[in-house]
Amino acid sequence: MMIKPLEKNNGGYFGETIVISDVLDRIATAAKIHGWIIENFSQSTELPLYGLSRIAKHERLSAYISSGIHGDEPGGPLTLLEMLEANTWPNDVSLYICPCLNPTGFKNNTRENSIGIDLNRDYRHFNSTETKAHKSWIESIPSFGISICVHEDWEAKGFYLYELNPEKINSASLEILNAVSSVCPIDQSELIDGRPANCGLLKPLESPDVRPLWPEALYIVQNNKTRLSYTLEAPSDFPLYFRTHALRHAIETTLNAHLSEN
């Protein structure tokens, strides 16, 4: 049976929401049980900004994963919660995870934080306390082989992804899209978010210098924390369990693809 869009997202995200304080509590509990290093780099006392680390004994890959930078995209934090609770990460991968970068946005189901800043456009000028604190944490960890930024798109017809890969090194994008296509439709639009797309793959080409506002992924690549970044986008007009399943499959495929080439 093919799952159909719910057709609820009329002008924004109108699907299921999460109670972010509960999700963050469960994330901290799971991380503690499974031996992660847990840092709270938030400058405020309201809600934590967690940076989780797990260093592999025999590292063959290091990966950074972030989500929840947009408060109307619950699929990312929920997927990472499920993966942290299941604790079935592949061996030999050092992991650095920020499970929710915009906790105040989730309280009101807004893309922006509680004072109206789109944090994923604040990685050039760092006007918000969240991005400033996140930048310091990122600077404190070693560089990593790949980056995975987990998002959702309320307008998308299916799953798609952005690849930032200035040196055109071996990427797993086609493998990820192929794997996800078995559990979720791929957005086949020729234009997604105003950019040319090819069967769900977007490779933004414009020079960073001409972009006045930078997303997280661009900051990470421009600062050489990694040279290969994936931004995963799940279609949030589908049921939440369906999106977390697709996102988990995409993350696991990405890690395994890069492990098998090392």
Binding interface with Zn ion (CB under 5 A)? 70, 73, 151
Q: Which is nearer to Zn ion, 31 or 217 (CB)?
A: 217
Q: What is the spatial order of strands in the sheet that 229-235 belongs to? A: 37-40, 50-54, 93-98, 61-67, 146-153, 229-235, 160-164, 201-202
Residue found under tokens 């952005």: 162
Could you give phi then psi for residue 152, rounded to 5 degrees? -135, 155
Q: Which is nearer to Zn ion, 151 or 227 (CB)?
A: 151
Please tell me the distance from the alpha carbon of residue 108 to that of residue 90, in angstroms, as a whole number.
35
Q: Which is nearer to Zn ion, 73 or 163 (CB)?
A: 73
Q: What DSSP state is assigned to residue 21?
A: H
Helix (H) or strand (E) run with residue 40 in it: strand 37-40
CB of 91 to Zn ion, least distance (A): 30
Token reading at 102: 């915009």
Q: What DSSP state is assigned to residue 146?
A: E
CB of 187 to Zn ion, least distance (A): 14
CB of 201 to Zn ion, least distance (A): 17
Residue found under tokens 């499920």: 82
Q: Is the dihedral of CA 53, 139, 99, 65 positive or negative?
A: negative
Q: How many CA atoms lie within 13 A of 130 on its CB side?
A: 29
Q: Which is nearer to Zn ion, 77 or 185 (CB)?
A: 77
Q: Which is nearer to Zn ion, 68 or 145 (CB)?
A: 68
CB of 168 to Zn ion, least distance (A): 25
Q: Which is nearer to Zn ion, 71 or 185 (CB)?
A: 71
CB of 247 to Zn ion, least distance (A): 12
